[in-house]
Structures are given as structure tokens and as C-alpha cells.
Amino acid sequence: MNLWLEDKKIVIIGGTTGIGLSAAKAFVGQGASVVVVGIDEYTCGMAEDDLQGNGVSMVGDAREDDTAVDAIELCINVFGGFDGLYHVAGGSGRRFGDGPLHNLSRDAWEQTFSLNLTSLMLSNKAAVEAFMRFGQKGTILNMTSVLSYSPSPDYFSTHAYAASKSAVLGFVRSVASYYAKHNIRVNAIAPALVETPMSERACNDEHIVSFIQTKQPLDGGRVGDVTDLDGAAIYFMSDASGFTTGQVLSVDGGWSLSEGQIRDGV
């Protein structure tokens, strides 16, 4: 049986919970070795157990300059190389005060951008530097959101988050264009509402769940599962996407094609 990621060595920033951990397990199942980075020591330990000897974990904050650099060096030292980076880390800025513009503070704006864009820039920079240092091809996959281009004003009005995720789109295309001549590919996935620790608020809100039934109509109308993104991630991290760069793939259950019905009295 041919494995899509056989002998690939991959670093996943934000790989110890949710979407990142699901991808790590899927990558290992397709023959890869992985380094997963998380901010919490407990989840790092649990993730490493889940990877059953084909992955190692590292505690680190994606917003710090050296986190991705250290993770890539760990990958090289443990597995003998580095082939790809998957940046999943990020999240809602609600805890900082993100929301509608008239309620948005400068601090909330800056912290949300640090969480979702600065961290991504740092990891991508570290990956590009490593690929160029070794004179090798490589692939980078980033995480954006359908909210970057398809807003939902009634239930998801976090304007700093939407702006930061929209900025990822421009970043991906610009970086992909520049480094294509070096055979370094940069792409992104744009999910809609997926059940993760970050989305707990929305997934436990009966009004939002009712809205999602028509906004994400595929498969009976449901909130996404983390495993729904694994196939796209495997494709982008594999040689099957070797002629693909600067692309953004929506994995959204139909969100971007559907009006979504707000139902009174739910």
C-alpha cells in the first residue's frame, strides 16, 4: 500500500489538540514522523502518547521568536530531516476583547493579530529559512477561516479575528509567489465552524447550532469534525500537491455557498 506521506518529517505548530492533533495522527497514519508543538505541557504529553512512537512533542508559544525554529531543529535532530510545516496555532480573540469594531480595543486588536498572524509569520519564516539553508524543496500549510471572506454578523462578529485571518490569505499568496522558484510551496485551508476547544462557546449555543444546520448544509447540516480537515491537510503536505501553491481551499460544509437561516424561537 502506498502511503501519501511516507518518510515525510513534518512540524505542526498547534498540534497537541483539536485540528492539529487530528492532523498529526492522520499524518502518522500515512507514514510521516511529526513534531507537535503546544502551549500546554499536559496536552503535549497526551499528544505524544497518541502518536505511538512516530511523533515527539514540544512545549512552546507560537508567538515567541524561537518556538518554530526550535521545533524544526528538533525534527531534524530526531527524525533526520524536515519536509513540511503545518501551522494550526491561533484562535479567537474574544478573551482579549475582540468583537464588533465599536467595542474593539487596540489591545484586543494587537493581541488577536499576534495570536493569528504574527505567530504564523514566525513559523513560516523559520520553515523557509530551513528549506533554503539545506537547498531543498518544502511545503507549508497555514490555517485561515471562512470568516476571512464570508462574514456572519449575527453570531461571529469578531472583527480583529476576521481581519487577521484575511491577512493570512494575502500573506500566503505573496510568500508563495516569491518562493515558488525555490520549489517551496505555501497554501492554506479555510474551515468553517469545527468542534474544537476554541469553538466550545459556539458549539454549545443552540441558536448557533440551529443556524449551522442551514449554513453548513453538507452531511445533514452539522458542525464540522476535526477529522473533516485531515484529507485536505494530507494532500497539501504530500507530493500529490507538488504543482500547487498559493491556493486556499475551503473545507466548510457549504458555508461559503449558503445563506444560513436565523430561526426565531429556537
Provide the percentage of residues in the chain whose pLDDT is more than 90.
Answer: 94
> Is residue 65 scored above 90 in pLDDT?
yes
Residues 6+ apart with CB under 8 A from 21: 15, 36, 47, 50, 226
> Is residue 27 scored above 60 in pLDDT?
yes
Residues 6+ apart with CB under 8 A from 7: 31, 32
Task: State pLDDT tens for residues 143-196.
Answer: 999 999 999 999 999 999 999 999 999 999 999 999 999 999 999 999 999 999
In which band, very low, low, confident or very high, does the pLDDT at 265 lie, cut at 50, 70 and 90?
low
Structure confidence at residue 150 (pLDDT): 97
Domain coordinates in residue numbering, the chain: 9-193+226-250
Cα–Cα dist 72/192, whole Å: 29
Cα–Cα dist 33/11, whole Å: 9
Average pLDDT over residues 1-29: 96
Average pLDDT over residues 15-44: 97
> Is residue 85 scored above 70 in pLDDT?
yes
Structure confidence at residue 243 (pLDDT): 98
3-state secondary structure the chain: CCCCCCCCEEEEECCCCHHHHHHHHHHHHCCCEEEEEECCHHHHHHHHHHCCCCEEEEECCCCCCCHHHHHHHHHHHHHCCCCEEEECCCCCCHHHCCCCHHHCCHHHHHHHHHHHHHHHHHHHHHHHHHHHHCCCCEEEEEECCHHHCCCCCCCCCCHHHHHHHHHHHHHHHHHHHHHHHHCEEEEEEEECCECCCCCHHHHCCHHHHHHHHHHCCHHHCCCECHHHHHHHHHHHHCHHHCCCCCCEEEECCCHHHCCCCCCCCC
> Is residue 263 scored above 80 in pLDDT?
no
Average pLDDT over residues 24-43: 97
Structure confidence at residue 200 (pLDDT): 87
**205: Cα separation from own chain's centroid:** 23
In which band, very low, low, confident or very high, does the pLDDT at 45 lie, cut at 50, 70 and 90?
very high
Q: Higher model confidence: residue 266 or residue 125?
A: 125
CATH number assigned to the domain with residue range 9-193+226-250, chosen from the 4 options 3.40.190.10, 1.20.140.10, 3.90.1640.30, 3.40.50.720: 3.40.50.720
Mean pLDDT of the chain: 96
Task: State pLDDT tens for residues 86-102.
Answer: 999 999 999 999 999 99
